[in-house]
Each structure stands twice: as structure tokens, then as C-alpha cells.
Amino acid sequence: MPIDKNRDMWKPGEPWEQAIDDMKYVRGLAAELGGPERVKRQHSGGRYTIRERIEKMVDPGSFLEAGPMVGAAEFDDEGNMVEFTPGAYVMGLGEIDGRPVAIGGDDFTISGGSPHNVRKHSRQFTQPLATQYGIPYIQLVEGVGHSAKADEAAGHMGLPGGDLWWKGVELMKRVPVAAGIMGSVAGAPAAFALMSHFTVMVKEQSQIFPSGPPVVRRAIGEQMDKEELGGYKRHVHESGQVDNVAESEEDAFEQIKAFISYLPNTTNDVAPRVETGDPPDRRPEELLNIHPPIRRRGYDPRKLIKLVVDNGEFFEMRRHWASSIITGFARLDGYSVGIIGSDPMKLAGAMDGWAAEKYAHFVDLCDAFNLPVVIFLDMPGFMLGSHAERIATMRRGIRALIASAEAKVPKIEFNIRKAYGVAADAAHSLGHPDGLNLRFGWPAGEWGGIPIEGGVAAAYRREIENAPDPEAHRAMIEGRLLKLRSPFRAAYRGDVVDLIDPRETRRLACTFVKLAQPMLHKLAEREKRAVRP
Amino acid sequence: MADIPVESPITGVIVEISVSVGDTVEFGDVLVVIESMKMENEILSDYDGVVKEIRVRNNQNISQDDVMLILEE
């Protein structure tokens, strides 16, 4: 519906019926977004408009728009509207599976989501609503940030002010924040997207950077297309800037829904229990032989996790980055939990600097949202060698250790196989002294300050060198120590609560999570800091 | 028919080369085994393709990010 410049619009004192008609009319104009041509261009790029995105995210008919009439209007001498550009941010309240959320996103069809003639922003409506009512906040971002045209219109270049951000930081302290990066995103919209607890970008459709290729070329002379500069390979696989990649926009919406489904409404609540129908005492037979008998071989750790959790449903976050550590959410007996696992197929499961960062961030996230943490540990230690040194592996590992020690949420740990050195401490630091922190060992468990192979070579070096047959001598000492490595010895000494049949893992984990609930409600009362992505 | 270089994800010693030039490989197939961190790390293919070139040999030390072989998509 194009604008009708001759429309005699309602004036104060005229009948209400005409005012109601005009409201519908202006809303109709806003629903046009950037006009049919721009909408067509959005669609031909394989992308939905912001209104379509919101409709697909929320329960049908539940969207209650905030500011549907906000836009840049121009009037003639009679007071009739002759020009109207809708504000390029569509937002409001909606429900996802019956749960209220605040949701909004940029309208890319209007000046690339960055119009210079109207200020309409989530800070005005959805951010304060989400904070005040304590409901999840979802942003679907596709905009390019500050426009130089805005400076020309304003007649001055403003000093960047922190006022843009503090509402976002308040949100991060208080409610789950999830962002879909739906296209090319730069500048402030990119920063808003990353100020989230969960981010997802669409494969080969989304890119994110402070500035795109033209600005990069101008600034440093580097020539690169936008996908190479800031696409999913760069940011989901290599840098870890964005948590997850989606195959399609629909997949991104599903991932956002899954993410918030595991979290409580605020950092001062506990995630509600959901009836999953999976018996807590189920004994997954396959767990018994999930390891190869050869301890030098890997196995599929996701299969292990899925065998334990309710109905095999595991929502993984940051899968493609720092992948020797696995992080994600699941349910046990219907209760939400954070899951941390080792992946022996990646870096042998060792903790390098990035894996330590991933670990620390995830523990902080669980602590903020009062989720108990279930750990499946198979940790050979810090990753060794020059690559790991280059990324400050031990300093970042200490960060993980501190995060773990400070996290007051209860933790349970299954020592699946290896647990060596400080890196293993980082993962299973017991944290709060009054916490409900339990450790169980599987029969394949082996642990210590240093693995026998490296430990013997270092501590017995001179003795081995001076032996008539050094190789045989080394093997002899290793054989002596091998007996000590039995997890039974550690169990006799009380290192673990118990050695268990791996098939008991689910039952024990479910018992733990149920036990943890009263404490979680107390922990929910703590004041929280914003989790730093 | 793009060439895909397969880089080593880990520093270690090549202990097994599981494919030969001309082999068709699928996503998830084992390409090589690298001994590192006291583990035999199976390096799986991220792509479907044909092995065009192998640049490593058994018992060779390899650094993370070194190209081990070339696949042709």
C-alpha cells in the first residue's frame, strides 16, 4: 500500500472512527517495510524480511508489536502526511511455546537497517521490557551500523558514548539473550549481536565484523570478500567469535529456541523441570563398551553424552571451536543441566588456550543461570608444544581453574578415562566448599600429576641412561608404576566417591541433579554479573 | 574439481597413512593416524573426494597446520 498524499487525515476534534482508520493506514504503510522492490531484493537473496523472521520465531498470533507507527513522517501545510519511512527496527513481545519473550530485529530493506532519518531502537522498548519483566531477549540482527549520512544530517560528529550499551549490559546480567546474525552485520549492530549469551549465524548468508571489505581495504589495504573476512568459517570454526552455524534461517530460529528452552527466565530463577518421559534409572547398556579397550584410541564422546541425557537430546554450543572441550545443554530427569565433556578425537582431548577459554566461559554461563554442571572428563593435560604455547595455554588454563573454583553451582564429574595434571584440576576443581560436588570414576579411569610415560622419562632420566639396557630399564620402571595407576587404588584412598559401572552413570547423574535443586534456588538469589562472551 | 589441502590439526608423528593416491574418501573416513599426547589420533576427512596427493610418510614428524595431503572434491 503506497502512501496516499491526498488522504485527508484525522485531525484533533474529528470522529474517533476516522482516527482508528488512520491508525490502520499508517500501520499498513509500516508493514510495507522498505517497499516492494526492496522486499523483493531481500527475498531474491534467499533472505526473509524482519517481519517474516519474527512470525517464524514466535507462536502464531502472539506478536504484540512495539512502536508499529514509529517512522520518519513529513506533512503538508494541512497536516496531512505526505512521506513516511518506517523505523528500521521491528520489535515487540511474543511467545515461544507459550513462554513470553521480547524480540526484535533490524529491517535491512530500509537503508540497510541503518536509516539516518529515524531513530527507532530496541533500547526504547524491548530491552527495558525484557529487563523489567524478566523474560528472554531475542535479537535478529541484520544491519550495518552508523551511517556517515547521519553525521551530515546532524551537522556534527558525536563522541561515541557508553549510553548505547548499558541497557545491553543490564540485560546480560538479568535474562537470557540470544542473537541470530541474519546477514552482513557491521558496526554497532554487530556489537549488539555479540553482546549475547548465544549467537548463531547462517552458513554463507551471514558475516560479522567491525567493518566490511571496503573499509578494511581503505584502512589496511587488505583485499578480501566479506565471506572470507567474516563468514562462518572465520568466526564459527576459526575465531570462536560466533557460537554456532545454522544451515538456514529456520535452523537458526530453532537453535535460538533450543538455547532459551534450557535456561530460566532470569539469572535469579531456576530453570523449570520439563517432563521428558525418560526414566532416571535407565541403564544404557552401550556405555559399558563405549571405550575401545586400547587406551590410546579415541571414541565418540557425543554418543556417550547422548546415551546419558534425557532422550539423547543434547544442544551443543561452540562445537566447531576449541573442540577438544565439548559444551552444551541437556536435561536429566527433566532438569536442565550444563554439560562439559572431553573430545579425545580433537587434540587428544587436551586443553589448549582456546579450550580453556571455552571452558571458563561455559562454567560462568552455567553459574549465572543456576544450572548444575555435569562433567565427562577424559583429560590428558594441557596441550603441549609451540602452537599451544603461542596462545598462552597455561594462563588461560588458570582462568578456567578460577572460573571452576568460583562457580557455586553444584558439579558432578565422571572420570571417564584420563585426568592428568593442572588441566584436569581446571576442569574438576571442586569449587565452593559447601557445594554438592561429586566425583565418580569409571573402570578405565587413570589419573595423576603426570602420565607414566612422560613422568618416568623425566624423573628417572639419569637412572635410565646409566642402566646397561636403558630401554628395558625404562619399561621395568613403567611396569612398576602401571600397577599404581589402577583406579581401584585411588578408590581405596577416597579420591572418588565411588568407582562405578558406566551403565550407572545416568542414574547417578539424575540423582545428583535432583539433589541439587534446593541449593540452586538459594544460589539463584545471588546478584549476577554479566557473563562476558 | 577444487583441491582441498588437508592440514594436520595436531603436532605429532605420522604412524599410519590410511589412504592411497586415487582412493575415494567420504566424510568421516580415516585419512592418517598421528601419534600425539600419547594417543593415536585418527584424522578424519571433512569432505567427500579423491586423494590427489600425499605429502607425508610414516614416522615423519608433523606440525599443526602442515599440509598432509590434497583431496580433490
Nearest CB to A387: which of B37, B39, B64? B64
What ranges do the domains of chain A cover?
48-67+87-261, 285-442+500-523
Walking along chain A (533 residues) 10 residues at a time, the average pLDDT comes out as 88 95 94 91 94 97 94 91 91 97 93 67 87 96 81 80 83 97 94 97 97 96 97 97 98 98 98 97 96 88 98 98 98 98 96 97 97 95 96 96 90 93 77 71 90 86 93 91 88 90 98 95 96 96
**Residue A179 one-letter amino acid:** A
Report how far apart, in Å, the C-alpha atoms of A333 and of each of A272, A309, A421, A496, A509 are: 12, 8, 33, 24, 9
Nearest-CA distance from A345 to chain B in Å? 6
d(CA A407, CA A518): 17
Which of A318, A306, A313 is closest to A245 using CA atoms?
Answer: A318
pLDDT of residue A76: 93
Q: Please write down the long-range contacts of A270-273, taking CB distance under 8 Å and 24 or more positions apart.
A: A270/A370, A270/A517, A270/A520, A270/A521, A270/A524, A271/A335, A271/A336, A271/A369, A271/A370, A271/A371, A273/A333, A273/A334, A273/A335
C-alpha angle with apex A156: A153 to A157, nearest 5 degrees? 105
d(CA A477, CA A483): 11
Q: Where are the alpha helices (DSSP H) in A335-392?
A: 353-368, 386-390
* Edge-to-edge order in the sheet of strand B3-7: B3-7, B67-72, B49-54, B24-25
Q: Which residues of chain B have pLDDT under 50?
A: none
d(CA A49, CA A172): 26
Nearest CB to A298: which of B42, B63, B65? B42
Residue in B13, B18, B37 to test binding to A, most A beta-carbons within 10 Å = B37
The residue of chain B with its CA nearest to that of A297 is B40
Q: Is A503 helix (H, G, I), strand (E, B) or coil?
A: helix
Q: Where are the alpha helices (DSSP H) in A288-352?
A: 301-308
C-alpha cell at A475: 619399561
Chain-chain contact of A347 with B38 (C-beta, under 8 angstroms): no
The residue of chain A with its CA nearest to that of B64 is A387
Chain-chain contact of A348 with B63 (C-beta, under 8 angstroms): no
A480's CB contacts (< 8 A; 6+ apart) are none
d(CA A256, CA A240): 18
Chain-chain contact of A349 with B42 (C-beta, under 8 angstroms): no
Chain-chain contact of B39 with A453 (C-beta, under 8 angstroms): no
Choose the CATH number for A48-67+87-261 among 3.40.50.300, 3.90.226.10, 3.30.1300.10, 3.90.76.10. 3.90.226.10
Eight-class DSSP state of A348: G
Q: Which domain holds residue B8?
A: 3-56
CATH number, domain of B46, equals: 2.40.50.100
Eight-class DSSP state of A351: B
d(CA A183, CA A41): 13
Q: Chain A neighbours among B 37-56 (CB < 8 Å)?
A: 37-42, 44
Domain total for chain B? 1
Chain-chain contact of B64 with A453 (C-beta, under 8 angstroms): no
Mean pLDDT, all residues of chain B: 95
d(CA A447, CA A380): 9
Report how far apart, in Å, the C-alpha atoms of A33 and of each of A40, A74, A87, A492 are: 11, 17, 9, 70
- For residue A184, the surrounding DSSP H or E stretch is strand A184-186
Q: Establish if B71 belongs to a structural domain.
A: no
Question: Quick check: A319 and A332 in contact, CB under 8 A?
Answer: no
pLDDT of residue A433: 60
**Chain A residues closer than 8 Å to B40 by CB:** 294, 296-298
Number of neighbours of residue B22 by Cβ within 10 angstroms: 8
* CATH 2.60.40.10, domain A285-442+500-523, yes or no: no
Q: Interhelix angle for A353-368 vs A393-406, to 10°?
A: 20
A183 touching chain B per CB within 8 A: no
pLDDT of residue A156: 84
d(CA A383, CA A400): 14
Nearest-CA distance from A457 to chain B in Å? 13
pLDDT of residue A198: 98
Eight-class DSSP state of A123: T
Q: Strand A446-448 relative to strand A411-420: parallel, antiparallel, unpaired?
A: parallel
* Edge-to-edge order in the sheet of strand B30-36: B39-44, B30-36, B12-17, B61-62
Chain-chain contact of B38 with A344 (C-beta, under 8 angstroms): no
Chain-chain contact of A348 with B65 (C-beta, under 8 angstroms): no
A353's CB contacts (< 8 A; 6+ apart) are A388, A391, A392, A393, A395, A396, A397
C-alpha cell at A485: 595407576
Eight-class DSSP state of A79: S
For chain B, how long is the longest CA-to-CA vector? 37
Nearest-CA distance from A220 to chain B in Å? 26
DSSP B6-43: EE-SS-EEEEEE---TT-EE-TT-EEEEEEETTEEEEE
Residue in A300, A324, A346, A347 to test binding to B, most B beta-carbons within 10 Å = A347
Question: Quick check: A62 and A26 in contact, CB under 8 A?
Answer: no
pLDDT of residue A490: 86
Nearest-CA distance from A294 to chain B in Å? 10
d(CA B41, CA A256): 34
d(CA A339, CA A412): 10
pLDDT digits (tens, 9 = 90+) for A40-86: 999 998 999 999 999 999 999 999 999 999 988 999 999 899 999 89
B57 touching chain A per CB within 8 A: no
